[in-house]
Amino acid sequence: MEIKELILFTNNIDKQKNFYSKIIELEEIKSFSHDEISFKIGNSVLKFIKRDQITPYHFAINICSNQEQEALLWLKERVSILKDGENEIINFESWNAKAIYFYDEDKNIIEFIARKNLESTSHEAFSPISLLEISEVGLPTVSIEEIYRKLNKYMGLSIYSGSFDEFCAIGDENGLIICVDQVKKNWFPSNDKAFPSEFNSEIISNNNTFIITYKKGILIINQKY
């Protein structure tokens, strides 16, 4: 699964523009509106649209699989790291991956994750070029099973990890929908409340392109022709 574009909402569009363009140093994609901004992240696009009322998100970005240490040093010059206890790099042994977490200006929880199975190594200095793609988007819900059934039926996605109880990652290592039970589970590692925040995304699955919309706790999936 490939997340080609992720559209989120912000009430701090100028601060977010500064954060992603100046601090994280992403390439800004030209916009013809003062109410939206877009950034290139490897094979993906991250877009923010201005809205008065928002709640935070969680999303992840794949980085080169051998660069978690370099990524940590690069980030620590720019942001505060969200730790798990004393750990700044968090080892997900069952996923064969290592991750680093931090906030943006809206307190969205951003994750840089080095997935060893992808073998996407680099021997260059860590930079925004080391960001490969948006690889996860969080989707809090009151019914993980219902969300999974839709994603499986219309997009052919399978469970990568977890169950229908509290946490279920759906898709593959290039792209995952991270479903959490919004009543039972908060976001790791900060323990922030997992809001069912509205988002839109363009996703490629099984050689087909889909537009998904998550709004008011309802997932809508349309195939793009």
Per-residue pLDDT of 164-174, as tens digits, reads: 999 999 999 99
CATH numeric code, 2-224: 3.10.180.10
Strand intervals (E) in the chain: 2-10, 27-29, 36-41, 44-50, 58-63, 81-82, 90-92, 97-103, 109-115, 131-141, 159-162, 167-172, 175-181, 199-205, 208-215, 218-224
Q: Is the per-residue pLDDT at 202 higher than 90? A: yes
| Per-residue pLDDT tens over the stretch 134-157 | 999 999 999 999 999 999 999 999
Give this prediction's pTM: 0.97
pLDDT tens-digit profile of 56-80?
A: 999 999 999 999 999 999 999 999 9
Mean pLDDT of the chain: 97
Length of the chain: 225
The 3-state DSSP class for residue 112 equals: strand
